[in-house]
Structure 1
């Protein structure tokens, strides 16, 4: 993780020293579908929920090819019912990500004057929360974890100050939620974006 963050910082620092005069800040939102997934290595459960969610973002395009971005968001809750054999009693397990914060480096390519493609690399910190009804301790979790993030998207300029786009991001992949490492989680998002450029 530290190597990823150092690499992103080096890219950003190199771009900043070369073309500091091209800094272009922006802010916006992303809204769409998010996947909250958890699984147990003993095959007791493998729960995948697609829920509604969103984030706010603030970033700086250092030049036409390099940028940095900070985003924070939250997602909805997904449910799945389990037979008594899984947790000792029949239960419904609900999982969500209370919040996530991503710190990303952005590599972009202007395809035309109004359209560009980009790739994101960095890290995300997210709080996973799992509850059960009726309450079963073995089904419950509440952990804050950090992991590697990557994704790609496209952005179309509607005006000089406004753009719309779409992106896919893998925020976390198989982060360990318990001490033994048998329970792991994933978080991804596929969203539409709206961005204001300053």
Structure 2
């Protein structure tokens, strides 16, 4: 009788985990958004902080669709030649297809591909004046990540996502901004 009860309990636990792999989920992430500007003889890297939320639906153990929204919470500030400069991430959003490879009941790897849009803002002030502006970076975004489930409902994620590259022109100068995210998140399955 005890063996039968143990086997029934184990089967119920495994069935609960299998059922939990499909359906709605929501989560939150903190991302380190790294923006790199590279031009002839000029390189700069800026680390920004982005706090975001996500919601998705997992259709199958190997496929989900996910929407994301984030906003900047940590700017990059510096002083140079009497000027004060600030660069920040504004609002961002994205829609991704998510391919999932379960490696065990608790751990899976995934790949993301989709569309992302981020608004960046800058401000420069000093010596009698100031300027500010913004621009949008939008287009193809892709990445990879891993997810560890503590329970059938609660999991943590760690991922790397490449964001769209933006070409800018300023007073005859042309340069590219490349950006990427490293994000740590928590998801809850309903």
Equivalent-residue separation in structure 2 for 1:112 and 1:60 (angstroms):
20
Where do residues 40-189 of structure 1 align in structure 2 (5 Å cutoff)? 41=39, 46-75=43-72, 76-83=74-81, 90-134=82-126, 135-137=129-131, 140-173=132-165, 175-178=166-169, 182-189=174-181
The aligned counterpart of 2:15 is none
Q: How many residues of Structure 1 are paired with residues of Structure 2 in the alignment?
A: 166
Contact 1:36 1:96 in 2 (8 A): no
Equivalent-residue separation in structure 2 for 1:28 and 1:189 (angstroms):
16
Contact 2:67 2:94 in 1 (8 A): yes
The aligned counterpart of 2:24 is 25
Equivalent-residue separation in structure 1 for 2:118 and 2:94 (angstroms):
9
TM-score, scaled to structure 2: 0.77
Give how far 1:42 is off. Answer: 6.0
Equivalent-residue separation in structure 2 for 1:186 and 1:112 (angstroms):
35
Question: 1 or 2, which has the higher strand percentage?
Answer: 2
Please list every run of at least 4 consecutive aligned residues from structure 1 whose deviation after the TM superposition is greater than 4 angstroms.
none
Equivalent-residue separation in structure 2 for 1:141 and 1:24 (angstroms):
41
Question: What SS does the corresponding residue of 2:94 show, helix, strand or coil?
Answer: strand
Give how far 1:106 is off. Answer: 0.6
For the pair shown, the structure with the greater C-alpha radius of gyration is 2
TM-score, scaled to structure 1: 0.75
Question: What SS does the corresponding residue of 2:104 show, helix, strand or coil?
Answer: coil
What 5-or-longer segments of structure 1 have no aligned partner?
A: 1-21, 84-89
* Residue deviations 1:56-114 (CA, integer Å, cap 9, x gap): 0011111011111110112221023333xxxxxx3122111111111111111000111
The aligned counterpart of 2:187 is 195
Give how far 1:23 is off. Answer: 4.8
What 5-or-longer segments of structure 2 have no aligned partner?
A: 1-20
